[in-house]
Amino acid sequence: MNKKILLAIDLLFLTRPVVIAPVWGFGAFGVYCVNKGLFTQLELPQYLLMFLYSLSAASAYVFNQIADYEVDKRNGGFPLLVRGDIPIGAAWACSAACGLASIAGPLLMGHWLISVLSLTAITAGCLYSFKPFSLSGRPVFDFLTNAFEAFLAFSAGWAIAGGGLSSPLLYASALPYFLLMCAGSIGSTLPDMAGDGECGKATTAVTFGGRAAHRIALGLLIIAIPASIFLSNDFLALSCALIAVPTYIPFLISSSKPAYMELTYKVGGSITMIAASLAVPMLLPAGITVFLMTRVYFRMRHGVSYPSLKPNNASRGAPR
């Protein structure tokens, strides 16, 4: 296959579309909280606006991989920028293109509020990834920044569905989802503690230790329960929190098993996406399609199985 086409495909997956899907999910929660009902079918321009907004997350994800290049060399898995032979210059160009599209696209459609949210998300992504702030390597700020990004996605969905960004109801409705993201973000950093520590990244998990960070995440998740009942009367957020809480118990009992470490954010993330699909049903086929495309890409292009990102014997020797 032509090298330019292969590079374009690599850059597409460098934006981590499988992680962009949760951005759509939090946007769907914003739509749900405005409409106060399930199974919302949006108009095509609304879907387009949500996609354009999510490109701000794509831009931030590429920024983060560029900033974490040395750290990712030490961590496990298959960090695409490190092991995928993607030129840094191409990664920068990809991030810039996604960021520009996320800001200019909504403006051209007459929705400047979405452009403002996109610009805010990109700015937060830069603060999260790059010095002198490097919030990804600062305790508490690491998961709060991720949760703030989830709030921005929620706000985008809220605005797309016709809600006002100055409404106090927006912030009351978003709080349970903000807390859910705080918990999930902490859990997702636990597997990278060793590599982060070697590179001097003082994440919440590195600073407090795995078990203590896990307890913080569980505490935030438990707070989401009364928040979803008394602030917003939101049964979707309540269901996500109630179902996720038991997945935290095995790691507290035995923190020596990696599977228990990963159980929290993997199960919690899946529950959240299922709940978001109840809010906006089109999210389910979109998410499944993205997952299958990602699985095929890593298998055919790099000879590794997704999501484990371990070598696949049957795919060794796949064309590069």
166 assigned to some structural domain: yes
> In this structure, are residues 194 and 238 in contact, taking their beta carbons and an 8 Å threshold?
no
Q: Does pLDDT of 64 surpass 50?
A: yes
Which residue is associated with the tokens 């912030």?
171
Separation in Å, CA 284 to CA 87, 242, 292: 33, 22, 12
Task: State pLDDT tens for residues 19-33.
Answer: 999 999 999 999 999
What total number of domains does the chain contain?
1
Q: How far is 201 from 264, CA to CA, in rounded Å?
A: 22
Structural domain boundaries, residue 177: 3-315
Instruction: Report percent pLDDT > 70 for the chain.
Output: 96
In a domain, 320, yes or no: no
Q: Which residue has the higher pLDDT, 256 or 288?
A: 288
Q: What value does the CA radius of gyration of the chain take, rounded to a whole number of Å? A: 19
**Per-residue pLDDT tens digits for 175-234:** 999 999 999 999 888 888 888 888 888 999 999 998 999 999 999 999 999 999 999 999
Residues 70-74, mean pLDDT to the nearest whole number: 81
Residue 283 resides in a domain? yes
Q: Over the chain, what is the mean pLDDT?
A: 91
Per-residue confidence (pLDDT) for residue 197, from 0 to 100: 87
Residues 39-44 have a mean pLDDT of 95
| Residue 95 domain flag | yes
Helix residue ranges per DSSP H, 130-257: 141-160, 168-189, 193-198, 204-208, 210-226, 235-244, 249-253
Angstrom distances, CA of residue 128 to CA of 64, 131, 132, 148: 8, 9, 10, 11
pLDDT tier at 104, thresholds 50, 70, 90: very high
Which of 72, 220, 214, 242 is closest to 144 using CA atoms? 220
At 184 the pLDDT is: 93
- Of residues 200 and 257, which shows the higher confidence score? 200
pLDDT band with cut points at 50, 70 and 90 for residue 318: very low
Question: In angstroms, rounded to a whole number, what is the distance separating the alpha carbons of residues 75 and 52?
Answer: 31
- Lookup: tokens for 18: 């499988």
Residue 298 has pLDDT above 50, yes or no: yes
Residue 319 has pLDDT above 50, yes or no: no
Q: Would 287 be classed as within a structural domain?
A: yes
Task: Indicate the pairing of strand 310-311 with strand 304-305.
Answer: antiparallel
Token reading at 39:
């199974």
How confident is the model at residue 256, as a pLDDT? 64
